[in-house]
Structure 1
Amino acid sequence: MKKSLFMTSATAVGLALVLNACAGEEGGGNAGSSNNESNAEASGDQTQISFIHWRGEDSEVFDEIIDEFEAEHPDITVEMNIYPSEQYQSNAQQMLRDGSVGDVFTSFPGSQFEVIQNAGFFEDLTDEDFVGNFNAEAIEIGQADGQQMALPYQMVFNMPVYNVDMFDELGLEPPNSWDEFLEMGDTLLENDITPIAFPGGDIGPNQFMNSMMMNNAPDEDIFAKLEAGEEQLTNEWWVSTLEDFQTLLDREFISQDALGIQQDSAIAAVAQEEAAMLATGSYHMASLTEQNPDLNLDFLAPITVAEDEAIYEGIHTATFMLGVNANSDKQEEAKQFIDYLSQPEVASKYANETGQHLTIEDVDYTSEALEDTAYWLTDKETRFQPRFFITNSSVENAVLSSIEQVLGGDDPQSAAEQAQQVVDQNID
């Protein structure tokens, strides 16, 4: 029998305490410790596999897909466990340690992928036929040492979503420079509209930082150089990014209490047309149109430089990286599940019901929001999310914290200096 379990924040915090207590033990703790039946095989000749991820908003469609998979594979059942994303990032390695949980699991690119890969928990998928169902360029981020260790499923645009009809009514065009962006924000304020709904209370600057810095630091190796000691957060590229955040705060383009605003409140503000932009990404389009089906949405990344200096128009990420646990004794069944998820008709169902662009070839996008924004996949100059090139989690936290300090009222130069001190302590 399949059982879907969504772990609330409170449950996940309890889980984190258990895992932290077990962290020093051989074999470590695992996510099934509070739900032992999830680790048992189903009765008879059926094999039960564990599927873990962080996308709670996708639980309904995944339940449907799992039902259909089980109908086609009566010898396999799938139990899905879902955790809040922050807890998942912190605890996934421990959950995978003994192989009893996460036969199929997901990973973020960047530091989490590096940690799990270094721990040896990814089974090599290079020679699996289903790898050919994915766009070859999109899945490169899941490779290590020439091997395909994970398969990104989602193609996410990590930049603000904006209300197209609102812009049309006010005679606004997506800005092509920082000056135009500021003029746009002023026009929105004059019409009693908050330019940017910024959920700093739970999501923070994790997404918005990428489009804010993409043209300030167009070198795609900038964070690799930072971790190698060849770049500094006190240099112009990062200080100017922090100054741009300060400008948004000072001009009230984002709320003065942005660090206390939760995701649901920010989404509601855009859905109710109190705010023009949501500073997260494409993965929230479905939530916005669910609350307001009349919304016409597109993407708008701030261009923080002069028009003739801009290189990138937006940010993309290949994420929700599907992997098979190297410690699992149910790898063949796990691979059958990933194979099923990668079939175009299954992927199309997932894409259209969740509002996600995918890395699977031949997906049929029938959702209006996806059809209207599909041109970003081919016609726009987008950059892979810079934050995911930070492989050291302490460095990543320092970078993000410097933005939060500025939004909390600190001077950009001072915030950059404090962050660089943390970086210096955590790089070779």
Structure 2
Amino acid sequence: MPIQPKFTPVLLAAAVLSVSLLAGCGGGTAGQTAPSAGDGKQAASAPVTLSFLHWRGEDVKSLNGLIEKFQQENPNIRVEMQTMPSDQYQSGAQAKLTDGSSGDVFASSPGAQFEALAKAGLFTDLTGESFLSNFNESLIGPGKKDGKQLAVPFQLVYNDPIYNVKLFEKYGLTPPKDWEGFLALCAKLKEAGVIPIAFAGADIGPGQFMNTMVMNNLPSDDAFVQVGEGKAKLTDEWWVKTLSQFKELNDKGYFQPNALGTKDAAAGALFIQEKAAMLASGSYQLAQNKKQNPNLEQKLLAPITVAADKAKYEGVHTSTFLLAVNSKSKHPAEAKKFIEFLSRKETAGTYANETGQNVTVKEVQYTSKELLAAGEWSSKKTIFQPRFTITNGEIQKAVTGSIQAVLGGKSPEDAAKEAQAIVDQQIKK
């Protein structure tokens, strides 16, 4: 007969403890909420490498410094950063995120990209995370869907054209308060031999400049949402008017020659070299302009496309660079810990002042003239970027494409009809 083992009370307790520990190491059941980031001060229990995927290559130097500080605080977590050009990121990020090999932490644009990634189930729900209290609650709405906080916007951008303060002073110009005043300003600059508006018609220009051009033409703030639902059309008066005003600026020579063929870097160079008085981009470009021309004095203005007493808005804002945790990540707790670190006011302040980007984190102290100039707009009446209310990528392309069509010679009416045909196709799908 085999000898039966005898357990002393001590051995029995050790066995029970061993079984309990083994059970606690299991992978859990499907559908469990990912572990919370907590207070961000506990080190990971085992060495982990996080992938951080985004499109802002110009921020890499600053982020590398912050990552080094994070790794010192969390010696068992390593962060590897990967960036893609912004146009490639819009089209290619989802494929990289889907298999979970890239982007434990990743950035998303609001609007169409956010909606596509949410539909693909690539966001981890951040609702209830303690670090959300670090953000200005009124600015993180673009990261919400169906009552859940799927991502947190990190940057606050004003999508208003930039102007050269010294050139305006030289010719006795001030930001106009109506459309006739804006046209008169452009005319005076052109007569002086200065390009009124540097416009990147080949890539980002239509998507950026359309926001201030349409903000006061909109019949309602959700007009583009209604277009996507079939309740409004791009052939309606408000969009045809906006296209007509684009055409007017182009026909009068207030953009540089071949604006339709000009890319972002070339348009920016015209402004940086002070050949153009305005740049149709946004506050995100202020720091880069200053870096390349330290003598530049810059502020923001927005064209008012209606009479002064009809203007609802002074400019446009966007909460963007939405930080998120990939639902495919094998390290969600560590990924949340990294976002918690970035959301601290000291960290966000360093990032803001080193990159020239305003942020959505509360109580951040700005030190540069460019950030303070953008910060002036926090007290103005601004609308959330209209382009990002278009949640269908093909419709968004149709809208910006109609601007390019007008610059290419089509009538506003024909360009609007062609764009609406694409909208109709998307609605039927």
Alignment TM-score, normalising by the size of structure 1: 0.88
Q: Partner amino acid for 2:57? A: G
Distance of 2:211 and 2:49 partners within structure 1: 39
Distance of 1:196 and 1:143 partners within structure 2: 35
| 2:232 is equivalent to residue 231 of structure 1 | yes
Does the CA-based 8 Å contact 2:140-2:319 persist in structure 1?
yes
Per the alignment, residue 113 of structure 2 pairs with 112
In the TM superposition, residue 224 of structure 1 has moved relative to its aligned partner by: 1.1
In the TM superposition, residue 204 of structure 1 has moved relative to its aligned partner by: 3.4
In the TM superposition, residue 45 of structure 1 has moved relative to its aligned partner by: 4.2
State the secondary structure of the residue aligned to 1:288.
helix
In the TM superposition, residue 218 of structure 1 has moved relative to its aligned partner by: 4.7
Per the alignment, residue 382 of structure 1 pairs with 382
Per the alignment, residue 196 of structure 2 pairs with 195
State the secondary structure of the residue aligned to 2:72.
helix
Name which structure has the greater RCO, CA cutoff 8 Å, separation 6+: 2
Distance of 1:406 and 1:55 partners within structure 2: 30
Per the alignment, residue 421 of structure 1 pairs with 421
Does the CA-based 8 Å contact 1:218-1:311 persist in structure 2?
no
Does the CA-based 8 Å contact 2:104-2:331 persist in structure 1?
yes
Does the CA-based 8 Å contact 2:358-2:374 persist in structure 1?
no
Report 1:283-298 matches (<5 A).
283-298=284-299
Q: Partner amino acid for 1:401? A: G
Per the alignment, residue 300 of structure 2 pairs with 299
Distance of 1:256 and 1:243 partners within structure 2: 19
Report 1:53-92 matches (<5 A).
53-92=54-93
Per the alignment, residue 220 of structure 1 pairs with 221
Per the alignment, residue 15 of structure 1 pairs with none
Does the CA-based 8 Å contact 1:175-1:302 persist in structure 2?
yes
Deviation string 1:272-323 (CA, Å, 9 cap, x unpaired) is: 1110111011111111101111211111111011111111110100000000
Q: Partner amino acid for 2:137? A: A
In the TM superposition, residue 260 of structure 1 has moved relative to its aligned partner by: 1.4
Distance of 2:81 and 2:74 partners within structure 1: 16
Deviation string 1:222-256 (CA, Å, 9 cap, x unpaired) is: 01110111111111100000000000001111023
Does the CA-based 8 Å contact 1:162-1:298 persist in structure 2?
yes
Distance of 1:128 and 1:351 partners within structure 2: 23
Deviation string 1:173-209 (CA, Å, 9 cap, x unpaired) is: 1010000000000111111110100112232311000
In the TM superposition, residue 353 of structure 1 has moved relative to its aligned partner by: 1.1
Deviation string 1:312-370 (CA, Å, 9 cap, x unpaired) is: 11010000000001111100110111011001111111111111110000111001111
Per the alignment, residue 104 of structure 2 pairs with 103
Does the CA-based 8 Å contact 1:154-1:319 persist in structure 2?
yes
Distance of 1:203 and 1:224 partners within structure 2: 21
Q: CA RMSD in A?
A: 1.1
Per the alignment, residue 31 of structure 1 pairs with none
Distance of 1:272 and 1:98 partners within structure 2: 44
Q: Partner amino acid for 2:67? A: I
Distance of 2:203 and 2:236 partners within structure 1: 28
Structure ID, larger Rg: 2
Per the alignment, residue 139 of structure 1 pairs with 140
Distance of 2:244 and 2:395 partners within structure 1: 20
Per the alignment, residue 396 of structure 1 pairs with 396
Aligned-pair identity in percent equals 51
Q: Partner amino acid for 2:74? A: H
Alignment TM-score, normalising by the size of structure 2: 0.88
Report 1:23-422 matches (<5 A).
45-377=46-378, 379-422=379-422
Distance of 1:72 and 1:245 partners within structure 2: 52
State the secondary structure of the residue aligned to 1:273.
coil
Q: Partner amino acid for 1:370? A: L
List gaps (5 residues or longer) in structure 2: 1-44
Distance of 2:253 and 2:218 partners within structure 1: 25
Distance of 2:128 and 2:235 partners within structure 1: 45
Does the CA-based 8 Å contact 2:205-2:264 persist in structure 1?
no
**What is the aligned residue count?**
384
Q: Partner amino acid for 1:175? A: P
Distance of 1:373 and 1:417 partners within structure 2: 37
State the secondary structure of the residue aligned to 2:78.
strand
Does the CA-based 8 Å contact 1:344-1:363 persist in structure 2?
yes
